[in-house]
Structure 1
Amino acid sequence: MTKVNAFFSSSIQLHLYWIIFIAILYIVIHTYRNKSINPILDIYFNYIPVLTHEFGHILFNKLSGGKPRDLVIVATPSERLATSQQGFAITQSKTSLGQSITTFGGYVMPALMLFLGFLSIKYQYPSLFITAYLLMFTYFLYLTSRKLLPIIIVILLVALLYCLFQSDNQRMILYIVTVTQHFILGVLLGEVLQSSWTIFKLTFSENRVSWDGSTLKELTHIPTFVYSVIWIAINLFTVYQLFKTYFLP
């Protein structure tokens, strides 16, 4: 119990430049994801952002009275290339309003989790943020129809946590919490910035592409542009608030 308390009471120092570096690396790898080993690195780096985005659909589906059916993260470069999908959520909604809320939630979630992650450091409870992702991953494991890779990840996580708590090394616990927190925040920041550009491109693309914005247009008869502006505004406002807090105190 003492070790668990030590984990949850861990306080870390925020290194904003680490987060910015990881975010830039994330964007570069994603931009050149079809080069050399980048397809593998892209999957590694955006596993958490994709989980966050798709879990946003699941969460908003539950909040609107729907029923989630499946959550999949595409974990092979060949399938991503063939389907142009990084992941997908299958949900069931009772009404078109519920389906609209479900669809809207995907692009909101990364910015929300990024903001909560910074708050957890500010108020010295970073372990709660990491725990939230562990719970998110646990639900993903329960729901997904593709369980092999998540089970392997769980086994590795359990082994890591077991060794960590058995060693009774408080410094190592702090190090793991620090690295994990900064990595998650870095890839989320990269995703928030990169997805804003993706939303912009999809909105003004001359080719007809099926994505969350076009789905919302069909469901609500409100132009895609409106939703794109809202999503990008949420993303940029979140980034602005974070940089305002830490660069312009």
Structure 2
Amino acid sequence: MKIPRALTIAGSDPSGGAGVQADMKTFTALGVYGMGAITSLTVQDTVGVRRVFTLPPDFIYEQVKMVLEDIGADALKTGMLGNEGVARAVVEAVRESGMRNLVVDPVLASTEGRSLFEGDIASLKRELFPLAELITPNLIEAGLLCGMEIKRVRDMEECAKKLLAFGPRAVLIKGGHLRGGKAIDLLYEGGEEFHYFVRDKVETKNTHGTGCTLSAAITAYLAKGESLKGAVEKAKDYTHGAIEKSLELGRGRGPLNHLWRLRFR
């Protein structure tokens, strides 16, 4: 039996709501065989991140290389990389593999504002972005990458053009933190045309791991052969449902319900 394969290269969240754990749940829920290369071990819960231990770059490189040489992947994604050394190790492994369907979720800071990347973020733009099929920054990450504050859709458009110039095939800026009752995401593939995904915001505090889940869902749909726009559209539907059916767990922001489409007996 053949099955689509997807690899996530990201940090571990012991609470299960974000990082590799969220990615693997998403892959499984969408019918994709999931694999995970761990970049960082974290001490975190639904309230926030306490500590981060980033693994040595050569160890991460070997994880990625061995998985891709043995099982292979139809698509892969990166999440929290931690520092420039890890980013370069991932770049080397991806280049050697010749993989095309790479989704880069540039995790730079936690929701409560803790920095999750040590070093110059220019290394991401210069070395990793040109390998990407898609990059998926949120408003804060996009602002850091573009060196500007993003408060409205026009700012998102300006930033998307700047980010595309670094070489990814497309840019998806997630506008869930814009003011108002609508969540607006912007997909840009070049030229003067922008594609907008607009949804009503879900009234819930349980949004832990939303960005990880969306990028993992896009990766899963790319692994299944969807077009880029189709993968984003279907991933948005899946993630929106996971937020609507989110779980009341923990003392802080609870996790999404990655298995919301499944029925248990």
Superposition TM-score tier, normalisation by shorter sequence:
under 0.3
Q: Which has the larger radius of gyration?
A: 1
Give the structure with the larger helix fraction.
1
The TM-score with structure 2 as length reference comes to 0.24
